[in-house]
Amino acid sequence: MGEPAGTGGDRWALRSVPEDLERRYVAEGWWNDATLGSTVADGLTRLGGTAFQVHSKVRPWTGTFADVDRAARSLAAALRSRGVGPGQVVVIQLPNWVEAGIAFWAAAYLGAVVIPIVHFYGAKEVEYILGATSPDVVITAERFGHNDYLAVYAELLGRRPVPLWLVVGDSRDRELPAGATRLASLLDADPISGPVAVDPRTPALVGFTSGTTRDPKGVVHSHRTIGCETRQLDYMFPKGGPPSITGAPVGHFIGMLNAFLVPLLRTRPVHLIDVWDPAEVLRLMLDEDLGVGGGATYFLTSLLDHPDFTPAHLAQMPFAGLGGSPVPVAVTERATRLGIRMFRSYGSTEHPSITGCLLDDPEVKRLTTDGHPLPGVELRLTDDGEILSRGPDCYVGYTDDELTARVVDADGWYHTGDVGVLDAEGYLTITDRISDVIIRGGENISAAEIEELVAGLPAVAEVCVVAAPDDRLGEHAAALVRVREGMTPPTLEQVRAHLAEAGLARQKWPESVTEVVDFPRTASGKVQKFRLRQQLRQGGLETPGGENAILGKQ
């Protein structure tokens, strides 16, 4: 085994990268000596005049990369004077505001480990993350939407103090809690001249997945893996088209990279929006000449389904890439009929860019598969169809080293927990998650297979199929549907007739259909199925009628 990809100091015991892989990644140029700090410094020096804008009702901002860079260097200087340096941990829980960029770039300059937290996470998730990372600096908003960060963090940090708590906000209607300091007061320091030198193999960022497990998993990436992933994202995103609106929370791993790192590789303005309001996004697209380049399926369908969507918006959407959550073929085909060139990709916080399509791939592959292995990435399937991957953008471990040992083997293969099939041309299609199998009377049923077909019903904007408890069979399939504006939800009989026409075996048909207002989601838009299953059992689904309005049940 080779040298550790990152030691993490005394915080985390990370995995080792096999020597042959490390040599190959360096020789082929996937890994180099660049750090987040040097990447930021190089990009901001070249692109200082590029626009940076925040579209917000509560904290709008307009300026340039150079303006944000000046503030980031000043914050970095102020933090360094307080002892913050390489390897120390900076937690950032902010909405899509300019201060998130300032904080991220400042931490990168210092070689600190960035821990982004999605802005809508509450006390339970935050307390877990604080306990798993022992931060040296915490940066939060005062309040945003329904979240009162001052109250939450005053209580949490009272039990688990940190050396420095910085707060973003301008309200003067109440005093800051003890130990809190306004971030703005640190932006007058003389800026540092350049990034601090750090070992590129050491941790740079920890992304916490709220995923399908009950507790978030802390996914540790090094400077090398983040650098490679940033280049992968840039490689996949087509050139041309209007500047894109970033609606994914920057508190999420990929949202932060897309907002604050990928634009530094080419001239791409940053346009953040702090609340994903489809009506407002559609307005901005026309008024500000902006586009939406994709993301999780929901970001696209929420626009296509909105009554304000017009042919004029299509000119702002020449292409869209979908990933981060299941992508029904019905959605890609619908968008293609509208004239949007679609492509799909597959990855996770652990291994962000495993497969993907490019616009010059055959249309049938772009619409119906999750793409082929990306440059530098290897992929294979087990006898059970589980996807194993490894590559230069694959993470270096979890904050929980026992979990790392369970899912990464000695040869560096990451066991994704996802199930897929490869066609003769090497294109991958995700068919399920190992943990997303419904066991009905001892028979395994793929939720993804049912979802793919139900999504083809005209009234269905989005569907999730989950296991519901069954006194007779142990479990049965329950379909939960989000319905398009102005349309009537399908009944159980209509769903089953549709599945029968598609040729799906009867034992796989859902035994109930329930309309929901929306689904519980991760920061990247992925549906949290463990919460859906819990809500289904406990009667807590958010339905139009305010109760579990089951449209049909056998």
Q: Which domains does the chain have, with CATH numbers?
A: 32-225 (3.40.50.980), 446-553 (3.30.300.30)
pLDDT confidence of residue 1: 31
Residue 536: predicted pLDDT: 83
Confidence of residue 28 (pLDDT cuts 50, 70, 90): very high
Residues forming a β-bridge with 144: 147
Give the SS3 label for residue 320. Answer: strand
Q: What sign does the CA torsion over 51, 319, 291, 525 have?
A: negative
Rounded CA-CA distance 40/459 in Å is 46
Q: How far apart are CA 458 and CA 135, in angstroms?
A: 49
pLDDT digits (tens, 9 = 90+) for 314-352: 999 999 999 877 788 888 999 999 999 999 999 999 999
Asked whether the CA dihedral 270, 272, 277, 279 is positive or negative, the reply is negative
For residue 446, the model assigns a pLDDT of 83
Q: Positive or negative, the Cα torsion across 118, 124, 125, 127?
A: positive
Q: Is the pLDDT of residue 523 over 80?
A: no
pLDDT band, residue 479 (cuts 50/70/90):
very high
401 with 14: CB under 8 angstroms?
yes
DSSP 349: S
Q: Which pLDDT score, from 0 to 100, does residue 2 have?
A: 37
273-301 pLDDT per residue, tens:
999 999 999 999 999 999 999 888 888 99
Inform me whether the pLDDT recorded for 42 exceeds 90: yes
Tell me the per-residue pLDDT of 136-162, one tens digit each, with 9 for 90 and over. Answer: 999 999 999 989 999 999 999 999 999
DSSP notation for 42-93? HHHHHSTTSEEEEE-SSS-EEEEHHHHHHHHHHHHHHHHHTT--TT-EEEEE
Alpha-carbon distance 433 to 360, whole Å?
Answer: 29
How far is residue 387 CA from its own chain's centroid? 20
In whole angstroms, give the CA distance from residue 389 to residue 72: 36
pTM of the predicted protein model? 0.85
DSSP string, 421-477: EE-TTS-EEEEEEGGGEEEETTEEEEHHHHHHHHTTSTTEEEEEEEEEEETTTEEEE
Percent of the chain with pLDDT strictly greater than 70: 95
Per-residue pLDDT for 212 more than 60? Answer: no
H/E segment holding residue 547: none
CB atoms closer than 10 angstroms to residue 318? 16
User: Which run of H or E residues covers position 138?
Assistant: strand 137-141
What three-state secondary structure class fits 6?
A: coil
Residue 9 zone, left/alpha/beta (φ > 0; ψ -120 to 50; rest): left
Residue 232 near residue 392, CB atoms below 8 Å: no
In the DSSP assignment, the letter for residue 39 is H
Q: Dihedral of the CA atoms 351, 352, 353, 357 (nearest 10)?
A: 130
For 250-385, strand residue ranges (E) read 270-273, 294-295, 319-322, 341-346, 355-356, 372-373, 378-381
Q: Which residue's entry shows tokens 């601090």?
A: 196
In degrees rounded to 5, what are phi and psi of residue 469?
-65, 145
Alpha-carbon distance 78 to 48, whole Å?
Answer: 22
Q: State the pLDDT at residue 238.
A: 92
Torsions phi, psi of 341, nearest 5? -80, 120
Residues 156 and 135: their CA atoms lie apart, in Å, by 13
Strands 397-398 and 414-422: unpaired
